[in-house]
Structure 1
Amino acid sequence: LLTAYKHQLPESAIRSLSTPRPIEFRPVEKPYFMNPSKGQPFNHVWMRAKGEMPNNPILHRTILAYASDYNLLSTALQPHGVTWADLMAASLDHAMWFHRDFRMDNWLLYALDSPSASNARGFTRGNIFDEHGRLVASVVQEGLIRKRK
């Protein structure tokens, strides 16, 4: 992402994207922050843990729970054409279901949508699929999203 869009990014975004992270994210569509115009509330992101992980299903679920918090509320912003620069947000609730075992060090597709975003609240859902197209986990989140005063 940084390599492809560095010439279009503000310095703050370059610093953020340059920070080493344990999870690798690869957006399918052009990232919303690159084109914050009104659009459909859908998003798809490939993700995986960097490096090989031990054969511990609880650890894989823990890392996926952490990674699942990324990209949810930004999906709720897409119909409104606004950016995070003038907003504050907080997760009000986040629920997750694990349907089958998976490996977090293999690529997983995170398919997100936001069926409702109004009255300072964004409701988002995510389905996470393994490389064979099997649903491995589902996520829902409601977040508070307000303009900064």
Structure 2
Amino acid sequence: TAEEVAKQPMFKEMPEFIRRYYESDRPIELRPVELGRYFGQKIDDGRIHVWIKTAATLPDDPALHMCALAYASDFSLLDAIMARYGRTLFDKRMMPASLDHAMWFHRPFRADEWLLYAQDSPSARGGRGLTRGSIFKPDGTLVASVAQEGSVRERKS
């Protein structure tokens, strides 16, 4: 679970600016699972996982939960492309930008409860990459799917 990830020794050893990013006061809470990425580990297929939820409890209106999840779904998706190269969205040498983003909702869920965002990147080439995401309840129920193409370029010195 997300709480277990935050208790891992490696989470505490992450560079302080990265740990602050994940612990900061923001509308969406994020807890990355594959922490080795922040120490340069490459993940060839970009397969990463992030626990997500809203920081605040939301009213029972399903439309609000869909809007909140749509907003949250864009926070980390390009990180799957970066993982292929052993880099992260925190790498100042890179300029990642979303080019398009599509989302499908499959089943009811609450965005204010932890959801597992499983992501991968089946293709990355020439400064562009495709990412896909599946969002699950903790019991494994698929609630939403996401696809995004991004530009991921190195900054010119």
Same fold (TM over 0.5): yes
Letter paired with 1:106: E
Question: 1:22 pairs with 9, 22, 27, which one?
Answer: 27
Query: Does residue 1:54 correspond to 2:59, yes or no?
Result: yes
What is the aligned partner in structure 1 of residue 40 from structure 2? 36
Seq. identity, %: 49
Cα RMSD after superposing both structures: 2.0
1:81-92 to 2 correspondence within 5 Å? 81-83=86-88, 84-92=91-99
Secondary structure (helix, strand or coil) at the match of 2:151 reads strand
Q: Distance in 2 between matches of 1:22 and 1:106?
A: 13
Measured after TM superposition, the shift of residue 95 of structure 1 is 0.2
- Aligned amino acid, residue 93 of structure 2: D
The count of aligned residue pairs is 147
Residue type at the aligned position of 1:117: A
Q: Could you give the per-residue CA deviations for residues 75-125 of structure 1, whole angstroms, max 9, x where no partner exists? A: 111222234220111110000000111111111111100000111001000
Tell me which amino acid in the other structure corresponds to 1:38. Answer: K
How far apart, in 1, do the equivalents of 2:30 and 2:97 lie?
Answer: 21
1:9 to 5, 15, 20: 15
Alpha-carbon distance in structure 2 between the residues aligned to 1:7 and 1:47: 21
Q: C-alpha displacement at 1:39, in angstroms? A: 2.2
| Pair 1:123-2:127 in alignment | no
Which segments of 5 or more consecutive residues in structure 2 lack a partner in the other structure? 1-5
The Cα of 1:17 is off from its aligned counterpart by: 4.0
1:66 partner SS? helix
State which of 136, 139, 145 in structure 1 corresponds to 2:146: 139
Q: Pick from 64, 79, 83: which aligns with 2:84?
A: 79
Q: Name the residue aligned to 1:63.
A: 68
